[in-house]
Amino acid sequence: MTAPKTDGFHMPAEFEPHRGTILIFPKRPGSWGKDPAAAQQAFTMIAERLSRCEQVYMLVNEKTAETARRMLPTAVQLLEIDTDDAWARDVAPTFVRNHAGEIRGISWQFNAWGGEFDGLYADWQKDDAAADAVCKALGIPCYNARPFVLEGGAIHSDGEGTILVTEACLLSGGRNPQLTKEQITAYLLEYLGAEKVIWIPYGIYNDETNEHIDNIAAFTAPGEIVLAWCDDPDDPQYKMSHADFDVLSQETDAKGRPLHITKLPVPHVPVCVTEAECDDYEFAEGEDTREPGERLAASYVNFYIGNDCVLVPQFGGIYAEDDARACEILRGCFPSREVVPVPARAILLGGGNIHCITQQVCGSAPR
């Protein structure tokens, strides 16, 4: 199914009601270690909390189905769809909805965040097929947006016609180098049913996705944005966050509203992978590797908004005060939802965080 320009479907905001949330049970040793138990426990904790307020769908294969069924609440629906890794945000469909409440998915082309140019692993065929398989399993019609390369973590919607992206990601050489910025904008407007794309220059420092938007900035309500922030001039993130703030502070959304920006500080010192954690990885040929002391792309903006909650990454230990401050700031942004702190270092070691492993299935149109 190809998206006509006038079909009336648009990408709702994440804070609008969901039909459900998609996750993928983690197993890849190059992301989650030779023993993925810690990551599986973190995914289970997230699935359990979300299952209280919406349907949770967990993708599994023949090797993970038994463990997943044993660990997960019975309310979680397992879908036997094999994938290369567990980044549901990027390989599951992007869902859109019309005013009648009908839902459709979008299957973008996936190339492991850069393909042969700078992709993170060499074999991504299962991931690339996941969006179509999910739509088929859920009985939802699916747009074929190929050959346009995009991941769900690269776009954020306010549900009212505004899409937020980073130049670092969408203009990277491994995505759609044959297209101009204007052509990419037009593609997003058509498929997402939007009226305006706001481009900010940067994401989070050392984010191996070429700096996805979902690690640096997110809409919390129409006209309201949280931005990952850094006050240390010696930290590379300082100039990146300040450059993004300069753009956003001069912008308006699709409705002409100026943006209210809430600063959400990153951890006060970088979160880095340890030697022991590095020893636990088992990388496949052609897969991006890690080194002891490597800085991870830790950000509290990588939260996920459930129907009645906001799940916030927590890094623990020396970051306890940072963790608490992030939750307190987000309580102010989401006064009607429970802000739930989630220990998330095991997810971060895979390369992303809570938002990266979740993908919302939008609900019917609000009345």
Question: How many C-beta atoms lie closer than 10 Å to residue 69's C-beta?
Answer: 14
β 338-343/309-314 pair status: parallel
278 catalytically annotated? no
Question: DSSP for 188-212?
Answer: HHHHHT-SEEEEES--STT-TTT--
Q: What are 27's two structure tokens?
A: 């197993």
**3-state DSSP assignment of residue 304:** strand
Which residue among 142, 309, 356, 362 is the active-site one?
A: 356
- Strand ranges of the sheet holding 156-157, from the earlier edge strand across to the other edge: 156-157, 162-166, 196-200
d(CA 104, CA 106): 7
Residues 6+ apart with CB under 8 A from 269: 318
Whether residue 72 contacts residue 44, with contact meaning beta carbons closer than 8 Å, is answered with: yes
Whether residue 217 contacts residue 248, with contact meaning beta carbons closer than 8 Å, is answered with: yes
Q: What angle do CA 174, 25, 61 make, to 5 degrees?
A: 95
Which residue intervals of the chain are DSSP H helices? 29-32, 37-51, 65-71, 88-91, 115-118, 125-138, 167-170, 181-192, 236-248, 275-280, 320-333, 345-348
d(CA 296, CA 90): 19
| Identity of the amino acid at 298 | A
Which positions are annotated as active-site residues? 356
